[in-house]
Amino acid sequence: MEATLNKAIPIRPAARVRAATEEPLWVKLSLIGLSVGFLMLFLFVPLLAVFTEALRKGIGAYFASLSDPAALSAIRLTLITVAIAVPLNLAFGLAASWAIAKFEFRGKSVLITLIDLPFAVSPVISGLIYVLLFGMQGWLGPWLDSHGVQIIFAVPGIVLATIFVTFPFVARELIPLMQEQGTEEEQAAVTLGASGWQTFWRVTLPNVKWALLYGVILSNARAMGEFGAVSVVSGHIRGKTNTVPLHVEILYNEYNFVAAFAVASLLALLALVTLAAKSVVESRLHHHSQKTLEPATAEE
């Protein structure tokens, strides 16, 4: 009996003890399974559905839906909107981050909160506020109308609503980064005789270029895809005030599912391109910020 007991306790080679801060393998595997499963169900399946539904009637029907004149005009309008909204917000983001990150003044945190405000406003309300200002029942509507200017149910309203919903993207990427970088490099440039513009162009901008690009990618995606805000101000005039997402809605509500999903697949492709670009820029951003931070931590 004793002999068997002794045998039952094997002399194990060393180092089979699990590290102190790790979970057992089965826990790890179930958590990975759970999260991948959850993401598959919630993210991957919908994405796959878009392309499957779009190609349900074959590749011919797919391209026919895309080359439909109404679809083309929606694409054109979306591109025009983005071409106006994104550069305007980019210019704003640069101005705001320069003022906020490079100078000390009272009320700075209030200003930052106000810049972030559009994120807290729901899409429908983002459209509604312009209807209240420029619509026929709004403050400026009748006056604008008598001068032959139409904003609501027209392109300017769509552009305004798009600017509103993408307002903070560039600024909120730039402000923290520029604050972190401080003003030492700019001061060095100024002492070396650089003008303000040269300082900005040659010192500040290269330091924040990846964050800037990141902000632009995000606002571009949102600008092309915005639905709620634009829907409220557009008036859904086919061929005139329909952006791509609104065109998807119209086709869907007309039970023209294949065409709706075909046009939607364009937006889904855009989303995938955005994600890819985003992760490339993110790794650059990470790399860059690590590089700039290293000397500071080494000083300790």
Partner 1 sequence: MKPIRRKYSVLPGFGLTMGYTVLYLSLIVLIPLTALLLKSASVGWEEFWRTVSSPSVVASYKLTFGASLIAASINALFGFVVAWTLVRYRFPGKRLVDAMVDLPFALPTAVSGIALTAIYSRNGWIGQYLEPLGIKAAFSPLGIVIALTFIGLPFVVRTLQPALEDLEKENEEAAASLGASRLQSFRYVILPAVLPALLTGFAMSFARALGEYGSVVFISGNMPMKTEITSLLIVSKLEQYDVAGATAIATVMLLASFGLLLAINLLQWWSSQRHRGVA
Partner 2 sequence: MSIEVKHIGKSFGSFAALRDVSLRVNDGELVALLGPSGSGKTTLLRIIAGLETADPNPRSEILFHDASVTNRSVGQRRVGFVFQHYALFRHMSVFENIAFGLRVRPRNERPSNPELRDRVNHLLKLIQLEGFGNRYPSQLSGGQRQRVALARALAVEPKVLLLDEPFGALDAKVRQGLRTWLRKLHDEIHLTSVLVTHDQEEALEVADRVVVMNQARIEQVGTPDEVFHRPATPFVMEFLGQVNVFRGRVSGGRVLLGELALDHPRHTAARDGSATVYMRPHELDIKLSRNGAPSLAARVVRLNPAGSVAKVHLRATDGADIQVDLTLDRFHELNLADGDDVFVYPKNARVFVPDYAI
Q: Which of residues 1-20 bind partner 2 (CB under 8 A)?
A: 12-20
Q: Which does 13 bind (CB under 5 to 8 A by kind): partner 2, partner 1, none?
A: partner 2
Q: Which does 104 bind (CB under 5 to 8 A by kind): partner 2, partner 1, none?
A: partner 1
Q: Which does 193 bind (CB under 5 to 8 A by kind): partner 2, partner 1, none?
A: none
Rounded CA separation 252/256 (Å): 6
Q: Which is nearer to partner 2, 11 or 120 (CB)?
A: 11
Q: Which does 275 bind (CB under 5 to 8 A by kind): partner 1, partner 2, none?
A: partner 1
296 binds partner 2 (CB under 8 A): no
Tokens 């937006």 — which residue?
267
Report the first-to-last Cα separation within the chain, whole angstroms. 63
The torsion angle over the Cα atoms of residues 209, 213, 216 and 218, rounded to 10 degrees, is -130
Q: Which is nearer to partner 2, 15 or 296 (CB)?
A: 15
Q: Which is nearer to partner 1, 10 or 193 (CB)?
A: 193
Q: How far is the CB of 16 from partner 2 (least distance, A)?
A: 7
19-78: which residues touch partner 2 (CB under 8 A)? 19-20
Q: Which does 16 bind (CB under 5 to 8 A by kind): partner 1, partner 2, none?
A: partner 2
Q: Which does 135 bind (CB under 5 to 8 A by kind): partner 1, partner 2, none?
A: partner 1
Rounded CA separation 96/89 (Å): 10
Is 169 within 8 Å of 222 (Cβ atoms)? Answer: yes
CA nearest neighbour of 165 among 227, 242, 216:
227
CA nearest neighbour of 173 among 121, 221, 125, 213:
213
Q: Which is nearer to partner 1, 10 or 50 (CB)?
A: 50
Q: Which is nearer to partner 1, 7 or 207 (CB)?
A: 207
Q: Which does 146 bind (CB under 5 to 8 A by kind): partner 1, partner 2, none?
A: none
Rounded CA separation 97/108 (Å): 11
Is 230 within 8 Å of 245 (Cβ atoms)? Answer: yes
Total chain residues near partner 2 (CB under 8 A): 9
In angstroms, what CA-CA distances link 105 with 98, 108, 173, 175? 12, 6, 20, 15
Q: Which is nearer to partner 2, 146 or 297 (CB)?
A: 297
Q: Rounded to an integer, what is the distance from CA 286 to the centroid of its chain?
A: 18
Q: Which is nearer to partner 2, 7 or 12 (CB)?
A: 12
Q: How far is the CB of 64 from partner 1 (least distance, A)?
A: 19
Question: What DSSP character marks residue 13?
Answer: P
Interface with partner 2 by CB under 8 A: which residues?
A: 12-20
